[in-house]
Structure 1
Amino acid sequence: MLQYRVGHVPVNGAGFAWPDQNNTAPEGAGLHEAGFAQLSMHRRILLLQGPNGPFFSRLRDLLVANGSQVTKVNFNGGDDLFHRTGDVIQFTQPMALWEAFLREILTQRRIDAIVVFGSSRRHHRIAARVAEALGIAFWAFEEGYVRPDYITLECGGVNADSPLAPLAIADIPKVRVPAKPRKFRHSFRKMALYSFWYFAGGMAGARRYPHYQHHKPFGMHELGQWIRAAYRKQLYRWQERPLREQLLANDHPHFFLAPLQVYNDSQIRVHSPWRRIEDFIEWTAHSFAEHAPADSVLVFKHHPMDRGHTDYAAFIEACAARFGASGRIVYIHDAHLPSLLHRCMGLVTVNSTTGLQALFHRVPVIALGRCFYAKPGLTYQGSLDAFWNDPGTVDMRVYSRFRNYLVRVSQINSSFYADDMLVPVPEQRRKDLQRRKLARLLFVAGLVTADAYSGRVWDITATVNLLAALLVG
């Protein structure tokens, strides 16, 4: 049985209860806590796209066990792979017809809540607009604002669309420090495995969904980029050792940190002044070259999930040369982020949750895009040009107040990929399942080997379908 505390139903439609006149929130005084129980308050729920893997399938089982009726819409073969039972609808039409298709489902099944993962995908943005027009609750999951060991669940949207965004620091009630969270092992490993099978399912189901466009294209090219990422990680570890040692030394230079987001991050396209990461790099480099102290350094740090897809080394070097800052603007891929934060003078971001990590380490932060935590009293509110010379300090009392409330109302101590509490399995059954998976893996390996050396043209679509059916089914 799941051991999550039952929170209160949101009282203002924004996903949290407003503070009382004394601006305090004692335990149980009307302040809801984030949890799966919030979704169980709804009777008829529509699930759209979830994170890669079986999380939404497990969530469906949890909601059904609590008495809700759940419908799932699948958009591609990856969705089909992980969500094959229950009330499942396949949307195979062009995106131009999605809104009409969605409205028909909402009406026929009398849906009172829509649940998605990430509120910036095109079909989710349309769903949010329709939900608002029809008075239907719109819940969005997202990776944890506080990492690791948390996931995000908010009503109305996440990140820049979070109900926390318009809330002033003065309006945030004081709540108790959250309990020590449960830890999850092998979360990244499981995420990578689920992502592989999701993309494999997407490739295998391409004919069933001819109009679907994923934010990362399904195909062997994407797989090749993840393989390249593994290679580059080892390469950068060796190539960047001198720079890494210089930045982490006791006599390190005075430096500012600019962590980059992934190249296709919807937070860049939807909630920032720019459309590309290169635009942010150029803007930040120019401001630094013109206004930062002459003895300071700007460090651009690559996003670890983007290692195989992009490399901005040549672009950053060209910007530094063009702005007369060669040697003062550097680029690194794989340095320990907390160690960098412990030493840097300030952090520049568009709207990444890395900013929250920086504040935890008492590092001043400036957010250049729409960002739910970019609030007076918490982050720097002046211009980027001025930030380099006087970034200010972090008021840790304000930060702790905000973080405690953030965790309380929007964070669930769980994992999309590694939380066994979502699927209670008796120990003996767990061992049986592990033995079955091993047997299936050996069987699949034999089939693939035989097919590859049979002398026939290798039908990769048929192989992917077989692998998916045997290993995930």
Structure 2
Amino acid sequence: MHRSFLTLQGTASPFFSRLAVTLRERGHAVHRVNFCGGDLVYAGNSNSSNYTGWPADLSNWYTDKVKAGAFTDVIMFGDCREIHLHMHSVSQAHGLRVHVFEEGYVRPHWLTLEKHGVNGRSQLPRDPAWYLDQRSVTPPSPAGRFTGYNLLDRAYHDIRYRAANTLYAARFRHYRSHRPENGFFEYAGLAMRALRDRQHHRDAERVTRELLDAGHRYYIFPLQLNSDAQIVVHSPFDGVRQAIEKVLNSFAWHAPSDTWLVIKNHPLDTGLIDYRRFAIKLARDLGVADRVRFIDAGHLPTLLEHARGVVVVNSTVGLSALHHRRPLIALGTAIYSMPGLTWQGGLDAFWEHADPSDVHLYQAFLDYVVHHTQINGDFYTRTGMEMATAGAVHRLEAAT
């Protein structure tokens, strides 16, 4: 059955336009909405409309567009951007299927595509027994094929997208990006971090050797991006610093006195907020500076393999921790936060009492998530986009 797709904002890459071309070749109708210059540049020659009004007026505009276009489906990247939030009630009122793309729950070489929503809005069950029941009818999760993903391709598309936003700013004068910082400042921060990359790796290797050679018992707390919807929307924190404050206070008062805490910065953090200085000062004030280490790099699998436990807000590192059978607690809304996978007894008790996950439950959960929500591919490289397009078309056409 041929469908009619309304596509909203996608990634800063040609992926959405290539997906639209393939869907049209298969007989489906596709109409794209551009909200900014980057969207316009990456729309290609597709059938599209430009939204140049205020975000507050989007609900009415979407309603008129849906009524006029006889759409059956809506596609978007991320479901918490302001321009997408207005579509949720409209799609529900008019019976449209909503398909949301996001970075992969499983890394690397995978991306996410779910109906209704992702992350905290995902409709994946949080009932361990449900996944165990599904294991007999769910295929084993395959290893992802290499996509060729690299940061240079991603950076190229991001810079091009942001440059187009600036070039066409007068046309889309009411557009507000979901990213809070000016692109110049973000890339200046990333450039400064790149200049210190070798030193960061040396420091992380030194800390890792210090921990392993001395046999220290330690926990890992991987940070997330401050502007990520996982922090802004799907966590109890107003930012990463507040999360650091909660974790460090609990560690200082409740963790065994012979244990250490390793705080690992996010690999794409711009450095515009100095988390290292904030964490070290707080650790000093709490009297645990000698047991806290902050690293900006490091081989995560090695650190996870030997960790006593892992604290996350809702990072995808949580799935890696489960893979390594480390005790895990999620402080935000995570798809894997359920009895048997994560500690449910609160952070203060976690440090001493948490147990490793149930390996059978983890495998049942992973198999189901990969089979039903993950697509092998990426949004930025030629090979990765080809893989992702083929997988996405198959999933979209099968959706009911």
* TM value normalised by structure 1: 0.77
Alignment equivalent of 1:352, drawn from 315, 331, 352: 315
What secondary structure is seen at the aligned counterpart in 1 of 2:18?
Answer: helix
**Matches of 2:229 and 2:384, distance apart in 1:** 31
Alignment equivalent of 1:61, drawn from 17, 21, 24: 21
Where does residue 275 of structure 1 map in the other structure?
238
**Matches of 1:422 and 1:389, distance apart in 2:** 45
Q: CA deviation at 1:179?
A: 3.1
Moved more, 209-218 or 82-91: 209-218
Q: CA deviation at 1:180?
A: 3.5
**Paired letter, 2:33:** V
**Paired letter, 1:169:** P
What secondary structure is seen at the aligned counterpart in 1 of 2:9?
Answer: coil
What secondary structure is seen at the aligned counterpart in 1 of 2:60?
Answer: helix
Matches within 5 A, 1:163-202: 163-164=123-124, 166-172=125-131, 173-174=134-135, 175-202=138-165
Check conservation: 1:233, 1:307, Cα contact below 8 A: no
Q: For the structure 1 residues 240 and 342, does the alpha-carbon distance in structure 2 shift closer, same or farther, using more than 3 Å as the test?
A: closer
Where does residue 396 of structure 1 map in the other structure?
359
Where does residue 300 of structure 1 map in the other structure?
263
Deviations 1:339-378 (Å, cap 9, x if unpaired)? 1101111111111111001100111110111111101111
Q: For the structure 1 residues 382 and 320, does the alpha-carbon distance in structure 2 shift closer, same or farther, using more than 3 Å as the test?
A: same
Deviations 1:251-276 (Å, cap 9, x if unpaired)? 34111111000011111111111111
Check conservation: 1:347, 1:366, Cα contact below 8 A: yes
Q: CA deviation at 1:421?
A: 7.2
What secondary structure is seen at the aligned counterpart in 2 of 1:271?
Answer: coil
Alignment equivalent of 2:113, drawn from 153, 163, 168: 153
Q: For the structure 1 residues 106 and 227, does the alpha-carbon distance in structure 2 shift closer, same or farther, using more than 3 Å as the test?
A: same
**Matches of 1:154 and 1:305, distance apart in 2:** 25
**Matches of 1:307 and 1:345, distance apart in 2:** 29
Check conservation: 2:15, 2:380, Cα contact below 8 A: yes
Where does residue 285 of structure 2 map in the other structure?
322
Give the superposed CA RMSD.
Answer: 1.7
Alignment equivalent of 1:94, drawn from 54, 58, 62: 54
Could you say which structure has the higher helix fraction? 2
What secondary structure is seen at the aligned counterpart in 2 of 1:388?
Answer: helix
Moved more, 415-424 or 171-180: 415-424
**Matches of 2:203 and 2:385, distance apart in 1:** 42
**Matches of 1:121 and 1:148, distance apart in 2:** 24
Where does residue 228 of structure 1 map in the other structure?
192
Where does residue 398 of structure 2 map in the other structure?
none
**Matches of 1:339 and 1:157, distance apart in 2:** 33
Matches within 5 A, 1:118-133: 118-133=78-93
**Matches of 2:86 and 2:23, distance apart in 1:** 24
Matches within 5 A, 1:347-386: 347-386=310-349
What secondary structure is seen at the aligned counterpart in 1 of 2:352?
Answer: coil
Gaps of 5+ in 1: 1-40, 425-473
What secondary structure is seen at the aligned counterpart in 2 of 1:101?
Answer: helix
**Matches of 1:389 and 1:48, distance apart in 2:** 46
Q: CA deviation at 1:127?
A: 1.2
Gaps of 5+ in 2: 388-400
Deviations 1:381-414 (Å, cap 9, x if unpaired)? 1110000001112211110111011100001112
Q: CA deviation at 1:232?
A: 3.0
**Paired letter, 1:229:** R
Instruction: Determine whether 1:215 maps to 2:145.
Output: no
Q: CA deviation at 1:423?
A: 5.0
**Paired letter, 2:27:** G
* TM value normalised by structure 2: 0.91
Check conservation: 1:232, 1:308, Cα contact below 8 A: no
Check conservation: 1:42, 1:113, Cα contact below 8 A: no
Deviations 1:27-62 (Å, cap 9, x if unpaired)? xxxxxxxxxxxxxx6611011111111000000011
**Matches of 1:212 and 1:139, distance apart in 2:** 23
